[in-house]
Amino acid sequence: MKMDNGIIIRNAEKEDVRQIAEIIVEDWKKAYRGIMDDDFLDSMNVEARYDIEVKRFEKYRVAADGNEIMGYAWEEHEQGRVS
């Protein structure tokens, strides 16, 4: 799906995983600072997150502007339903 601003919504590809991992780590550190333990948040890193996400990237849809991933969404199928 192409938006009017040129951003494309599509299934994630393996080449997107590093950027997805970068977004996840950055978002967690910003969103949960002061809520979760700082040591845990500080220990998060892109390499470790990449190792997790590369195993399940097929579940993601991404918003892409050219080769740059702007955001992502998780798509879960459960008993014939998409959630």
Phi-psi map region of 11: left, alpha, beta (phi>0 left; psi -120 to 50 alpha)? beta
In tens, the pLDDT along 54-69 reads 999 999 999 999 999 9
Q: What is the CATH number of the domain that holds 23?
A: 3.40.630.30
* Angle at 45 (CA atoms; ends 39, 51), nearest 5 degrees: 130
Structural domain boundaries, residue 19 = 8-82
In a domain, 23, yes or no: yes
In a domain, 62, yes or no: yes
In tens, the pLDDT along 34-54 reads 999 999 999 999 999 999 999
Token readout for 54 is 């590369």
In a domain, 58, yes or no: yes
Q: Is 11 in a helix, a strand, or coil?
A: strand
CA–CA separation, 26 vs 70, rounded Å? 13
In a domain, 2, yes or no: no
pTM: 0.84
Count the domains in the chain.
1
In a domain, 66, yes or no: yes
